[in-house]
Amino acid sequence: MKNISGKIYLMLGFSLAGTSVVTGSVLTESLNGRVITPISLGIMLICLFPFYGVRSIRTAARLKKRDLAVFTLQAGFGIVLFRLFLLTGVGLTSTVEAGILTGTTPAITSILAFLVLKETCHSWTVSGIASSVLGIILIQNSPQNLAVFSISHAAGNLLVLCAAASESTFNIISRKYREEGNDTELRLVPPMIQMYLVSLIAFLLSLIPGFYKMPVALLSDIGWKEWLALGWYGLVVTALAFIFFFEGVRRTDAYTTAAFSGMIPLTSMLLSLFFLKEPIGLNQWAGGGFIILSMLLIGRQSQKRRQL
């Protein structure tokens, strides 16, 4: 029962996270990517302060400096850099491709685990990485891309891959911290409080690039659709998705998390198709399929490792 509830939490969390690509595409039409992160996080922090604000501050006062450093790294890589790269990239490439390319996170995580953590790279993992690379090649060489190819389009795809790499770095930091046995205090922090603290730190970090020459006047010109998207980005994509993710991770194994992360590109692709009316070519469907297959292969390796 615990494992089933964990899978439901992961499915909900990754599905909500998948809406970030489409939401970001809507917002980048009117706002700079450096502005979206602090504003959306600020909305979320203000709305949830009556529920978690005081408890989060008291919890932070009890944590060790090393624990706070881990939260800071999680906020920096998992939120600030991830969104900065994603929001900049989605403005240069198609929403469909951006969503699919976020699915390369497990493959990049496996490569970093091999290089940084010196983990053994077995056949399932190698097959998963190869499948992910093949998916990227198919997407980049789709007929739509060849017809409108430009350096900026390729740069957009590269920035989305950098966003996936930022998320992978977040995973590696968390894994290394757990392996060293230094997360005793963190295990006592409820998911809601951890989400609020990480988001608060991310908000403070995002103020640095966000308010440097920020066109504040643009905020007065945006309409209700943009404000609704900002609220969704903060309250749902950040708060609710993170809570579901933390709850799911506590109840499932690593291979299950890797498998369900395929909901991000799948959700993004379907939303782009039905709401943004973006065309999806055969190469993009095939590329997305290979990237989702890579997650399943890498997740299979994690399952095998657990059974040994």
SS (H, E, C) 124-180: HHHHHHHHHHHHHHHHHCCHHHHHCCCHHHHHHHHHHHHHHHHHHHHHHHHHHHHHC
What are 153-202's pLDDT values in tens digits? 788 889 999 998 998 888 777 766 655 555 555 566 787 888 899 999 99
pLDDT tens per residue across span 189-215: 787 888 899 999 999 998 876 555 555
Averaged confidence pLDDT in the chain: 79
Taking only the tens place, the pLDDT of each residue in 58-72 is 988 888 888 888 889
Q: Check pLDDT > 50 for residue 269.
A: yes
100 CA to centre of own chain: 12
pLDDT tens for residues 21-62? 888 888 888 887 778 888 899 999 999 999 999 999 898 888
Both structure tokens of 100: 């699919």
Look at residue 140 in the predicted model and tell me its pLDDT.
61
Distance between the two ends of the chain, CA-based, in angstroms? 24
pLDDT per position as a tens digit, 244-262: 887 887 777 655 666 677 7
- CA–CA distance, 160 with 107 (Å, rounded to integer): 14
Using alpha carbons, list the distances in angstroms from residue 285 to 204, 269, 273.
39, 9, 12
Residue 146's pLDDT band (cuts 50, 70, 90): very low
Could you tell me the pLDDT band of residue 300, with boundaries at 50, 70 and 90? Answer: low
Residue bearing the bigger pLDDT, 13 or 283:
13
The burial of 296, by beta-carbon neighbours within 10 Å (0-12 exposed, 13-18 middle, 19 or more buried), is given as: middle
How confident is the model over 264-277, as a mean pLDDT?
Answer: 79
Six token digits for residue 269: 């692709």
Q: Is the whole-model pTM more than 0.85? A: no
